[in-house]
Chain A
């Protein structure tokens, strides 16, 4: 069980939680994730460790409500317990030091850059963060991210903040020498289409790029093989070999297809969950 100490709404569907989890906080490294289960009969879902505080024994996670379990989680309040929380899982991010590193975040991915980019900045790398959203109000953690990198680049579809356009368009400009300039390596975390577009953008320039793959997972320890992805024509278990992989070697088509395996069931489950919460509301 992990007690929720703080909750913030970052957007209407994105919640930040600070939770008590001293063992995980003590062991966590940037890039790792946890698995949570929020009710009896509930699913186990992976969430990135956005940040950790060893002294206070807390973790920060940011959840985007997309379905049943993220919905249940988003409804929890300060003082509630997360039923099960296990971690830290996966391998920490490893990037050669000394260069200009650009971290790109979409959706909850912006949060995942928090501890990661802070550590890279702290060890002396030059760091740029690019985050994007439809409009200004949906950009998350802008101040926190600005604090931990040399340059923060904002992108919005409608131009309400920063660059008007996609994160990949801004990335292409940087590669061309604009703003903070060409990256030596890129890390992208966010929705699959975004990571795929980043990969395509850096490929021709041979810029080393890592993406954080988010396949469906159950145990997170290498026991089920449900999280398998193909990288460089080899089958990998993302929960133990990843979640970061060399973007230019990832079979995205397969990864996207496998993630959609349960779309129908997810819809049925969400409807059932909504009924449940309606019923609860009526008591």
Chain B
């Protein structure tokens, strides 16, 4: 099929039947020819509205133009100046509701594939030989970062570039936050994350795993015993929510966090070569329709489910997952039960899941969030026969640090309260950003928050 200007240049994807049984990345990336062809579709608008759609305001037409001109190093430089995690965001940003939604080309044709191009440049950069080791710290004021998700990683990188000695403390045994334990390999290969972490280490950032601030060390310890001048809290929103319906503690019921952590962090897909198992029967129901639910249901197929389904009480229009993930899930054979609300998980006498009792819903008046409120249709209960149920109905910030740190303030959802401009919390010299502040959001928002907090911390410490 010849490439057409009006259409987005297609990304080559691995065969759906093949890929739904392994963890190799689905999207294979552009080659040079396709990337240039796509880049040339950009109109280089006078008023590049695409930039308004990007939370970190990447100068999109600039880097896109440099691809068209064949200047990859230049494109990489422009990208990195605004977004420290381009290889990751190019893969996982919900572009259709951000940069690409704004793109002027989209009014008549399909928007420029900004995400694909961003990924292309970043992947090129990863393939280049490492340059000279960057300069080591020049400043005396040390900064501690709590949590190694995108917010913490980006904040650490920025502060290191500003000359501060930086240490990241991570509770788990490996760095990366949700990028490590949540988003699966077939969407974000761990080698991409590892490469980014390697760059930070080259900048002199120290990463100390297996330290939980609030347990191993207290916030006071960081300042008083360890001599840090400022702290950035990037602890994310890792507390799984349950529905409170009967049967949630049956054997075979997981939170999405547990299910994904077993596979992504603990490599249960490689059991018994790896030691952590995951229990997957023939039929798996995943409750929810966000990115996490989509990742979970596609992972279930890959670890052996014959039938994997999404059960969601609203309709497809209210789904919060990225459009691309939804498409990929359909191609891979995921079944969708829209307007279906689970009311009970059923089990056998030994306590194993046998079914999910649901009630059908219809859409009513819009609710507070502006989305149509689903209302149950009386008498429409039915049972889906399933062997596993995975709940993916959202996460809240983990209260652990809050409970052990006097004076740290949060709102009623447990999100840390910060000043808009400075990202400063209720405690002096303690800053915060990412999901810990916003509640579960996106990688690019977390990265952006880490970046602006770094600037605020630098100003706080150096009066600049």
B211: contacting residue among A69, A86, A240, A265, CB under 8 A: A86
A44 CA to B266 CA, complexed, in Å? 8
Q: Is the CB of A225 within 8 A of B215?
A: no
A101 to B242, CA, bound (A): 37
Please tell me the size bucket of the interface on A.
35 or more
Give the chain A neighbours of B350 by CB distance below 8 A.
257
Interface locus among A50-58, A118-126, A192-200, A215-223? A215-223
Contact flags A84-99 to B (C-beta < 8 A → 1, else 0):
1111110000000000
Q: Report if A42 contacts B (CB, 8 A).
A: yes
- When distances are taken between beta carbons in the complex, the residues of chain A under 8 Å from B240 are 223-225
Contact with A along B273-291 (1 / 0, CB 8 A): 1111101000000000000
Are B272's CB and A221's CB within 8 A? no
Contact of A41 among B172, B258, B273 (CB under 8 A): B273
* CB <8 Å contact, A23 and B272: no
Closest to B270 in A: A41
Interface residue B322 (Cβ < 8 Å from any Cβ of A): no
Docked complex Cα distance between A273 and B212 (Å): 30
The reply to whether the CB of B56 lies closer than 8 angstroms to some CB of chain A is: no
Q: 14 A–B contact pairs at CB < 8 A?
A: A27-B218, A37-B173, A39-B275, A43-B275, A83-B173, A85-B210, A86-B211, A86-B216, A87-B215, A221-B212, A224-B258, A225-B257, A269-B272, A272-B273
B351 within 8 Å of A (CB atoms): yes
Q: Which residues of A contact B (CB under 8 A)?
A: 23-24, 27, 37, 39, 41-44, 68-69, 83-89, 218-219, 221-226, 228, 230, 235, 240, 254, 257-258, 260-262, 265-266, 268-269, 272-273
Chain B, interface size category, equals: 35 or more
Contact yes or no, B251 A257, CB < 8 A: yes
- Please tell me if the beta carbons of A265 and B272 are within 8 angstroms of each other in the complex: yes
- With contacts A41-B274, A223-B261, A268-B272 taken as known, whether A88 is within 8 angstroms of B216 at the C-beta atoms is yes
Contact B351 A254 (CB under 8 A): yes
Query: Which B residues have a C-beta under 8 Å from some C-beta of A?
Result: 171-173, 209-212, 215-218, 238-240, 242, 248-249, 251-252, 254-255, 257-258, 261-262, 265-267, 270-277, 279, 350-351, 398-400
Most chain A Cβ neighbours within 10 Å, of B171, B242, B267, B275: B275
Q: Least Cβ distance of A168 to chain B in Å?
A: 26
Asked if B257 contacts A42 (CB within 8 A), the reply is: no
Establish whether residues B271 and A265, one from each chain, have CB atoms under 8 Å apart when the complex forms.
Answer: yes
Min Cβ gap B257→A in Å is: 5
Other 14 A-B pairs with CB < 8 A, given A218-B266, A269-B271:
A37-B173, A68-B275, A84-B173, A84-B209, A86-B212, A222-B239, A223-B257, A225-B257, A230-B249, A261-B252, A268-B272, A269-B275, A269-B277, A272-B273
From A24, A43, A223, contact of B276 by CB (8 A): A43
Q: Is the CB of A89 within 8 A of B273?
A: no
- In the complex, are the beta carbons of A221 and B262 less than 8 A apart? no
Q: Is A41 a contact partner of B279 (Cβ separation < 8 A)?
A: no
Q: Which residues of B contact A235 (CB under 8 A)?
A: 242, 248-249
Which among A23, A37, A265, A272 is the interface contact of B217 at CB below 8 angstroms?
A23
A221: chain B residues at CB < 8 Å are: 171, 212, 215, 238, 398, 400
Chain A residues, Cβ within 8 Å of B217: 23, 27
- Give every chain A residue within 8 A of B211 (Cβ-Cβ): 23, 86
**CB-CB under 8 A for A258 and B251, given A23-B217, A44-B173:** yes
Contact B216 A41 (CB under 8 A): no
- Nearest 10 Cβ contacts at the A-B interface: A265-B277, A224-B258, A41-B274, A86-B210, A43-B275, A84-B173, A225-B255, A223-B238, A272-B272, A257-B351
Q: Given the complex, which residues of A lie within 8 Å of B276, measured CB to CB?
A: 43-44, 218
Taking a contact as CB atoms under 8 Å apart, the answer to whether A218 and B262 are in contact is yes
Distance in Å: Cβ of A226 to nearest Cβ of chain B: 5
Do A225 and B266 touch across chains, with their CB atoms under 8 A apart? no
Q: A88-B215, A257-B351 are in contact. Are A224 and B173 (CB under 8 A)?
A: no
Within the complex, what minimum Cβ distance (angstroms) separates B313 from chain A? Answer: 21
What is the chain A residue whose CB lies nearest that of B216?
A23
- Report the Cα distance A111→B266, complex, angstroms: 29
CA A228 to CA B209, docked complex, whole Å: 25
Please give, as numbers and ranges, the residues of chain B lying within 8 Å of A84 by CB-CB distance. 173, 209-210
Selected from A86, A222, A273, the residue in CB contact (under 8 A) with B173 is: A86
Task: Tell me the smallest distance from the CB of A238 to a CB of chain B, in Å.
Answer: 12
- Chain A residues lying within 8 Å of B249, measured Cβ to Cβ, are 228, 230, 235, 254, 258
B215–A89 CB distance below 8 A: yes
Residues of B within 8 A of A257 (CB): 251, 350-351
Do A43 and B266 touch (CB < 8 A)? yes
Tell me if A262 and B279 are in contact (CB < 8 A).
yes
Q: Which residue of B lies closest to A260 (CB)?
A: B251
Contacts of A24 in B (CB 8 A): 216
Q: How far in angstroms is the closest Cβ of chain A from B214?
A: 9
Residues of A within 8 A of B277 (CB): 262, 265-266, 269
B275–A224 CB distance below 8 A: no
Chain A residues closer than 8 Å to B171, beta-carbon distance = 86, 219, 221
Residues from chain B with a CB closer than 8 A to the CB of A44 are 173, 266, 276
Q: How far is the CB of B78 from chain A (nearest CB, A)?
A: 37
Does B275 lie within 8 Å of A219, measured CB to CB? no
Among candidates B218, B261, B270, residue contacting A219 with C-beta atoms closer than 8 Å: B261
Q: Which residue of A lies closest to B241 (CB)?
A: A225
B211 to chain A, nearest CB (A): 7
Query: In the docked arrangement, what's the CA distance between A235 and B243, Å?
Result: 11
Say yes or no: B398 contacts A222, CB within 8 Å. Answer: yes
List chain A residues, Cβ under 8 A from B273: 41, 272
Contacts of B252 in A (CB 8 A): 261
CB of B272 within 8 A of CB of A224, answer: no
